[in-house]
Amino acid sequence: MSKADITELEAASVAAAAKSGWVAPLGPSVDAFEKALCERVGVAHGLALSSGTAALHLALLGVGAGPGTTVVVPSMTFAASANAVAYTGAEPVFVDCLLDDGNIDPQLLGLALDDLIGEGEHVAAFVAVDLLGRTADYGRIGPLLQERGIILIEDAAEALGADFEGTSAGAFGVAGALSFNGNKIMTTSGGGMLLSDDAEFIARARYLSTQARQPVAWYEHTDIGFNYRLSNILAALGLAQLSRLDEMIGRRRAIRGRYAEAFAGIDGVRLLRGTPDRDDSADNCWLTSLIIDPQRSRIDARGLISAFDAADIEARHVWKPMHLQPVFAANRAWVNGNSEYLFINGVTLPSGSALLSDDIDRVIEVGRAALGA
């Protein structure tokens, strides 16, 4: 669906890093990768880590999330957004999404925050998630958080290269978390980065990410730390991928354009994309999803996925909302039904930049036939 897009450039970069002798975590490629990513996103400081989940965990620890606190998270997201909250001992509480693009519903977020504050809860942060490569609406979210004194952390794991009104994904809030997992817009195989303009915030996270070792001549620890740093070899892969990021985003946008054209006009079918006041021209188009109206379409989402599966094409449902996950069944949630609707009726299509035109032709052919077009 979104396999890594690797060329000879990446292979040469990794080989050079291996030959340099810097094969353990840290090294010159890590330093260069942090610097290059900060320049790309427009933030002052970056910390290369083993995963985007590690970045979220450290960000949450940095704002004081822990036992006795709550952290608000969109329900429409991948489990890592909520799991990182649980790692700290804080309680994740969930808020539903907009039907148009699947991102957080700002009005419902305000209601949830008011309820929590009114109940005397210590809300440590709100974790915004940029869904499928599209940023949340920070023009609406920012003011309502400021009015209530709530800290913003941006989970931009899916959105590197996207922006909101000229500000890059990863640059919002006190800190932003990126993911370079193998299926993301660019990859370091596994990896992530924590971004912030706050030097002290990143310094504390850097300390915790290297087992919280004290600066003495022996191994001494006064805090519980983590083994969260990115390896030098994987950072070399990231540097090569970063140099091709715009090319890969362009390819994914072209794929989305082909899907938009191919499925336009089919009754009961739409793309999960822009809102009435905001198109998807600033998205990175990481994944493209169809939303199938079961009352109007020839088949439902499950039937379409089965048709793709029969043709040996990977397709899947949109994220299952966190408030419907068994592990979070007891957690509080402010819901409007939208995330459940998108989960049940959404089908995510093959979207990787390494896909060939013939691959997209086959997805379109099978999809249109199954939908009766």
- Report percent pLDDT > 90 for the chain: 97
Structure-token pair, residue 246: 């715009």
Measured between alpha carbons, how far apart are the two ends of the chain, in Å?
A: 23
User: At 275, phi and psi to the nearest 5?
Assistant: -100, 170
Split at pLDDT 50, 70, 90, the class of 373 is confident
Q: Which sign does the torsion angle of CA 342, 343, 347, 353 carry?
A: positive
User: What CA–CA distance (Å, rounded) separates 151 from 175?
Assistant: 10
- Report percent pLDDT > 70 for the chain: 100
Structure-token pair, residue 224: 């519980």
Virtual CA dihedral for 195, 147, 274, 272, nearest 10 degrees? Answer: 80
Name residues whose C-beta falls within 8 Å of residue 358's C-beta, 6 or more positions apart in sequence. Answer: none
Tokens 């890969």 correspond to: 248
User: What CA–CA distance (Å, rounded) separates 46 from 114?
Assistant: 33
- Cα angle 141, 144, 150; round to 5: 95
> What DSSP element (H or E) covers 305?
helix 301-310
Residue range 261-290: average pLDDT? 95
Name residues whose C-beta falls within 8 Å of residue 167's C-beta, 6 or more positions apart in sequence. Answer: 42, 138
> What DSSP element (H or E) covers 340?
helix 338-345
Q: pLDDT per residue over 39-55, tens digit each?
A: 999 999 999 999 999 99
Q: Which sign does the torsion angle of CA 104, 108, 110, 111 carry?
A: negative
Task: Tell me if 51 sits within 8 A of 226, measured CB to CB.
Answer: no
- Does the model's pTM come out above 0.95? yes
Split at pLDDT 50, 70, 90, the class of 112 is very high
Q: Check residue 370 and give its pLDDT.
A: 97
Q: Is 294 helix (H, G, I), strand (E, B) or coil?
A: coil
Structure-token pair, residue 125: 């942060």
Which one-letter amino acid corresponds to residue 12? A
Structure-token pair, residue 178: 């990126």
Tokens 């989940």 correspond to: 53
Nearest alpha-carbon partner for 74 in 100, 99, 97, 106 = 97
Taking residue 16's Cβ as centre, other Cβ atoms within 10 Å add up to 13
Q: Is 288 helix (H, G, I), strand (E, B) or coil?
A: strand
Task: Tell me if 255 sits within 8 A of 351, measured CB to CB.
Answer: yes
User: At 334, phi and psi to the nearest 5?
Assistant: -105, 110
Q: pLDDT per residue over 73-95, tens digit each?
A: 999 999 999 999 999 999 999 99
Instruction: Inform me whether the pLDDT recorded for 276 exceeds 90.
Output: no
Q: Check residue 62 and give its pLDDT.
A: 98
Residue range 158-164: average pLDDT? 98
Which one-letter amino acid corresponds to residue 279? D
User: Please, where are the H alpha helices in 123-231?
Assistant: 138-148, 199-209
Q: Is 325 helix (H, G, I), strand (E, B) or coil?
A: coil
Name residues whose C-beta falls within 8 Å of residue 299's C-beta, 6 or more positions apart in sequence. Answer: 292, 307, 370, 371, 372
User: What CA–CA distance (Å, rounded) separates 262 from 256?
Assistant: 10
Cβ burial of 227 (10 Å; 0-12, 13-18, 19+) is exposed
Q: Is 179 helix (H, G, I), strand (E, B) or coil?
A: strand
Q: pLDDT per residue over 313-362, tens digit each?
A: 999 999 999 999 999 999 999 999 999 999 999 999 999 999 999 999 99
Nearest alpha-carbon partner for 132 in 364, 308, 342, 304 = 342
Task: Tell me if 334 sits within 8 A of 112, measured CB to CB.
Answer: yes
Instruction: Count, in order, helices (H) and strands (E) of the chain.
Output: 12, 14
Q: Check residue 258 and give its pLDDT.
A: 98
Split at pLDDT 50, 70, 90, the class of 24 is confident
